[in-house]
A and B are shown apart, each in its own frame.
Chain A
Amino acid sequence: MSQDVNSRLTGDFYTAPFGPRLEPDGDTLVLNMGPQHPATHGVLRVVVELDGEYIRRAEPVLGYIHRMHEKMGEVKTWVQYLPNMGRVDYLHALAWNWAYVGAVEKLMGIEVPPRAEYIRVITCELNRINSHLLWWGAYLLDLGAFTPILYAFADREHIMDILQMVTGSRLTYCYYRFGGVSGDVNDEFIRRTREFVADFKKRLPMYRALVTDNIILRGRCEDIGVLTPEMARRYGATGPVLRGSGVAYDVRRAEPYSIYDRLDFDIPTGRKGDVMDRYEVRMAELDQCLRIVEQALDALPTGAHIHPDLPERFIPPKGEVYYAVEGARGKIGVYLLSDGGPKPYRVKLRSPGFSNLSLFAELAQGTLLADAVSILGSLDLVIPEIDR
């Protein structure tokens, strides 16, 4: 029986995602990377056809961690769906929080108090630093450097402690509410955030000296996986992947939401669009995140942290709404369709990782296996976000 299943699986499994074979060449090797593989960070499966160590074709296969988040939106009430958002992308949970909350607020016309907007900016940017740090460590792990991830986790620990004070959780946050945030920040939070910003500013030059300027790292990253702006646009890439190719598109600047138009920060971009540019863009974004956090802390107004008179039940009027925010991986879009009932009629989540992953097949073609791993890492994929 098992033999039979095996033979059927090899027939369909390996050839189906590839479509028709390019040529009947017996010299290639089909290698199945994942869903359990150290380089795919989670449960991504990549089927690659190798010619020696060169990749002829690489095909990502999705769906191993599909949790039906969009369908869950249709069976839960507007409020009940909120905790799902922290689980879509566990690394930048607050951006997803924001995208959904922002969409509902836009649909219902709820106004957010200024203090809540500033708190959202501070916590969201801290969360972004957290996400970029984890990417940094995991990417270097892909390149074979074991130590940076532990340094990154030491810094992440501070951020998680800070965010735990206000949100109550350390990873899958559910902090934002329709019309504000669930709890106000206190002086302790502000003090520790300022401390962290000061400390982390001292850590960044060390990271540069220790890792970024390492000759082996440069050799592994420069001129690898060059993504042209045209190709990035074709696949709908966003976030640091797009900015690494030199397109200064950032939702915070292009379609400003919340108070981002009042803050002063740069949009770092790359020049060549190679892996190193994507790396540098993320490292530069860490600096910008710190700048934003500092400005927001300085300008933090007093007042309510949540809209004082909210309706008892959230039942938005009929209609549809789209709201986009800038996540650590790119443009997060939430599309909601309401039929005036207690539950959303349709929820569509636009995850940046999905578009970013889709360009991998083209980008990896003709590269060495080691470079493909490096390119895959440089796209900063969070598989649960892609599968949703």
Chain B
Amino acid sequence: MTAQLLELLSHPLGQMITALAAIMVFMAVNGMALQYAERKVAGFIQRRPGPYEVGPHGLLQPFADAGKLISKQLVAPLGADRLLFWIAPLVSVAPVVVCFLPIPFSPLLTGMNINLGLLLILAFSGLNTLALCLAGWGSNNKYSLLGAARAVAQSVAYEIPLLLSVLAVAFQVGSLDLAAIAASQTQGLLSWNVLVQPLAFIIFFISGIAETNRAPFDLPEAESELTAGFHTEYSGMCFGIFFLAEYSYMVVVCAVATALFLGGWDGPVFPGPWWFLAKTFALIFAMMWFRWTFPRVRFDQLLNICWKWLIPLGLANLVATAAIVKWVQ
């Protein structure tokens, strides 16, 4: 029996299903933990305690919120395109699960060893744009529509510098496998790509914030202009799913940044996965810090930053990397 089960699990398909199930649990836990963390970080920055009433230090607040979101009635506005309206949250959350597959928490703890892992993540994270677009279009709401239009323009623009910075690292290591890239940085702090490719790291992180629609680039949901942007009409768990997807994308972006630039699982004393998670959450903390500190940029400024700064810099960085790699060979 046990042997059969093991055999089933060691089959690639079984492996994948196990990994996906584990990822979904990880995402759910993460969503709640990050929501709590975000509120506590916001409270810390704004000199207030944050959630404090539900449970000790407000620790049960995420559960209370999840319970509230799940128990709420799902409402679609009159005149909404119901099919698009309901599938948009699913389209937004489904690709994230796949994005977690190739992330190497440690050499052993990897969902699936795919030698094109980086490509997989980039391809599937692009689907999020589609979800925002569907949500904005299907809601029959002008604010949602404007939010969706912004989301598309923003995501399309920022995918380019993201790609350029990732490519620079891929050129340097000669692989698109995240595990291989992380493994190439395990010879101490100086081998980390953040020191070898500082410019690429900065471009990647800025683009990542824009891709996940986080402040100061949270234009698709700019509260003071578009009330809630593309998810204006969503309530209950549909909103919850968008929320979960946003936080999961944050984890994906920060995890990829960790694997690409911060040495992955590299670190002393503690086992690799802990180091990986610690670095990922340190980056997430930085993202939260930005959100609660900076004002929002304007739409044209957002695109100017991308087209006039990040893309030329990314291109220059890429060309320089390619030349140096060639020269070293």
Contact of B300 among A140, A144, A150, A368 (CB under 8 A): A368
| Whole-angstrom CA separation of A53 from B297 in the bound complex | 15
Whether A29 and B293, one on each chain, are in contact in the complex, defined by CB atoms closer than 8 angstroms, is: no
Whether A214 and B47, one on each chain, are in contact in the complex, defined by CB atoms closer than 8 angstroms, is: no
Whether A38 and B216, one on each chain, are in contact in the complex, defined by CB atoms closer than 8 angstroms, is: no
Contact of B223 among A144, A219, A220 (CB under 8 A): A144
A380 within 8 A of B: no
Q: Name the B residues within 8 Å of A147 (CB-CB).
A: 45-46, 292-293
Chain A residues with a Cβ closer than 8 Å to the other chain, count:
28
Whether B146 and A217, one on each chain, are in contact in the complex, defined by CB atoms closer than 8 angstroms, is: no
B20 within 8 A of A: no
Q: How far apart are B9's CB and chain A's nearest CB, in angstroms?
A: 46
| Whole-angstrom CA separation of A368 from B300 in the bound complex | 9
A259 within 8 A of B: no
| Whole-angstrom CA separation of A50 from B145 in the bound complex | 12
Whether A38 and B227, one on each chain, are in contact in the complex, defined by CB atoms closer than 8 angstroms, is: yes
Whether A144 and B146, one on each chain, are in contact in the complex, defined by CB atoms closer than 8 angstroms, is: no
Q: In the complex, which residues 29-51 of chain A have their Cβ closer than 8 Å to any Cβ of chain B?
A: 29, 31, 37-39, 50
Q: Name the B residues within 8 Å of A140 (CB-CB).
A: 295
Whether A217 and B295, one on each chain, are in contact in the complex, defined by CB atoms closer than 8 angstroms, is: yes
Q: A39-B224, A216-B216, A370-B222 are in contact. Are A143 and B295 (CB under 8 A)?
A: yes
Q: Name the B residues within 8 Å of A146 (CB-CB).
A: 42, 46, 291-292
Whether A141 and B224, one on each chain, are in contact in the complex, defined by CB atoms closer than 8 angstroms, is: yes
Q: Name the B residues within 8 Å of A142 (CB-CB).
A: 224
| Whole-angstrom CA separation of A384 from B42 in the bound complex | 31
B298 within 8 A of A: yes
Q: Name the A residues within 8 Å of B124 (CB-CB).
A: none
Q: How far apart are A288's CB and chain B's nearest CB, in angstroms?
A: 26
Whether B297 and A219, one on each chain, are in contact in the complex, defined by CB atoms closer than 8 angstroms, is: yes
Q: Name the A residues within 8 Å of B150 (CB-CB).
A: 53
Whether B293 and A144, one on each chain, are in contact in the complex, defined by CB atoms closer than 8 angstroms, is: no
**Complex interface bits, A241-258 against B, C-beta within 8 A gives 1, otherwise 0:** 000000000000000000
Q: Name the B residues within 8 Å of A9 (CB-CB).
A: none
A369 within 8 A of B: yes
B interface, CB within 8 angstroms of A: 42, 45-48, 142-143, 146, 149-150, 215-216, 218, 222-225, 227, 291-301
- Can you list 14 A-B pairs, Cβ within 8 angstroms, ordered by A? A31-B146, A53-B150, A144-B216, A144-B294, A144-B295, A150-B46, A150-B48, A151-B47, A217-B295, A219-B301, A220-B297, A369-B225, A370-B225, A371-B298
